[in-house]
A and B are shown apart, each in its own frame.
Chain A
Amino acid sequence: MVEGALSHEDPRPTKLRVDGLSAFYGPKKAISNVSLDFPERTVTAIIGPSGCGKSTLIRCLNRMHEVLPGTRIEGRVLLDGEDIYDGDPVSVRRRIGMVFQKPNPFPTMSVYDNVAAGLKLNGIRDRARVDAAVIRSLKQAALWDEVKDAIDGPGTRLSGGQQQRLCIARALAIEPEVLLMDEPCSALDPIATAKIEDLIFDLRKTYTLVIVTHNMQQAARVAEFTAFMYLGELVEFDRTQTLFEQPKQKLTENYITGRFG
């Protein structure tokens, strides 16, 4: 435990540990010395005002931050105790999946091919295995009943909410251990949002989830733990109920009561 106050006091083992992490865009420091632990099979929400670094933080957790030119990080991110920054980013991303803010299904690919892409393009040719994974993932993403008759139709012809669940199914198909979600509902209407939230609730039985959200009610609804970030720093990390009802920091209290942000 690097800093006791920022660690969960939870019996479940830590799946992902962030240890003294700072991230930069060129000379600009976007997050500064963040440390926190994500327990296994839980949902952790990261909240904070725009520009506070929550998206940057989540992108550091599967090495997507470094995809942008001119970026670098300091510190460590440990998955089951191993630093993901030792070695190949590609193998890290197979274990830590990601869903983005805007639904981004592969254009020109069918629903089936979208879900199968992660397996096929990682060299799995066994047709029966891919079929089974596609069906399992679509069912897990609560999309199967809606698309089973149009599985060879284009993925981009689905509605926005369906596209986002398709992207979740695509991420689940490669059986990651951790699923990162960067504001997965911000482009969706309330009904589609409710479906995704139900889905997140079910997925935590199998996966460790980290969800960035703008929406405090959403964090309260889906997450067991919540981290509040402000100006690139982690202000407070606690059980969601504690953080919202008895915040320890004045800054957190001001934010959740709507005094700024």
Chain B
Amino acid sequence: MDHSTHQLSFWRKYVFSTDHKTIGAQYTITGLTMAMVGGFLAYVFRYNLAFPGDSIPLFGHLLPQQYNSFVTCHGMIMVFWVAMPILLAGFGNFLIPIMIGTDDMAFPILNMMSFWIFFLSAIVLLASFFVPGGAFGGGWTMYPPLSTNGYVDRDPNFLKALFSGASMMILAVALEFVAMLMGGINFVVTTINKRAKGMTPFRIPLVIWFINIATVIFMFSVGPLVAGAFMLLFDIVLGTGFYDPARGGDPILFQHLFWFFGHPEVYVLLLPSLGVLGEIIPVFSRKPLFAYKKIVYLAILSAVLSVVVWAHHQFVAGIDPRMATFFSIGTIIISIPFAGIFLSFIATLWGGSIKPTLPMMWALGFIGLFLIGGMTGLFLGSNTFDIYAHDTYFVVAHFHYTLFPDIFFGFFAAFYFWFPKFTGKQLKEGIGKLHFWLTFIFFNSTFFLLFFNGLTGQHRRIFNYSMFSNVNREPYITFEKIATISAICLILSQLLFVYNFISSLRSGKKAVKNPWNSATLEWTADSVPPHGNFHTYPEVYRGPYEYSLPNSSSDFIPQDVPNEIA
């Protein structure tokens, strides 16, 4: 049980580690590093949009080709190399074993391989910036024929085609999926088989439920995309014609395969963060999570619905208009289970005893911003309005209002909540609050005005808008400038986080075992949990959210306290 007596070499302890916490940290730090790359790309193209033609500080002049590459890679990196490693792999690795009360993952070596394959995938993606022609620039969706032959003419030389921006991006994504599948199978097997004694399904903390549901959606939907991506790779490298209409292929096929994965993917990214809210809100409201079981059922329902909404990304792609009606109905209906989950979180607050601590501020900020992101989805789910709004900044603002809170507010909430547990140090509150407010304000000033740019019909992925009469007028030019300046401030505000992280690690106050008086199992382990997590396997006697129980002296009862003592 207690593995800390082993003497591990530096390499086995910090680099090729099989400890779930180290692997979680590796995933998180790689994800944050990639977020800096993605943020820098965003800075460059946002600067170009506000001040077209100007030389960009720290970069220089931007060419149309580079602009396309940067927009594409910003999306790719933020979804597959920031959100996936931090939310799914990072949270999953850090939290699953310790919250279900076990020593490690079911397959620790597979877990280690999963990270190193992921690391390789990041290297392949970054390397694609330096091949002739640069990184792929045809949109993160990689629609053929632009990705197969329209972008740069397909090189008949096998090696040159293999080392083109497009095929390297596909390879990187494929490696990333291999890594996430290895991690995913580990998550599910660990949760099913390694739970502490007494940890029945409805005593599992919500975040563990949600990570597992997300993993299952991911594993279910990724197969068609992997097939689609390999056909794409064959079209580029071997000259096959799966997507070439001249040889009997069909470019729309890829769109279906892509979005069959691509839409469930947004729920793969959303659920782990929502699970984190489900842990944080009860702790700082001192109340049980409202309708915990029903939330689990609603999440399973939304997971099922998530695979029948994909073609809403293709309303104007020339799919059969009658089919679009079906997907429009599905899309609008999926708002119902998610509304149920969010309303239950809000209901948890009512009648509570709310402490606005840092993790709670991020959690509440997440809900507030996501309300805007989710509800603007109703406009886009309507297929008729989507004819107009499709591929405009309305879509861009909408998905940033969903994904930014999801990825960053979700991550920061989790980070500030579990930092004391996994590092043994307390974070500094004051600078943390400043970081929250600056991020909250600059995020809104970056993206809110872009809804209006979208409504005036500003379409996406354009290098220079000056030739479009609907966009090249006031107030939309000013909105672009405000968005860019805010985006720069938003990125700079994150330096506060880096500073807080490093300085708290070095000189933060020592954290106690259970600083938040939380009832779940991870808080019964030492801060920092040793390799193996617990000294003895914990046993579970109750659900994860026993706060403010009537007739109880303490305002919370940890999961591992036997009934007679409580």
A binds B: no
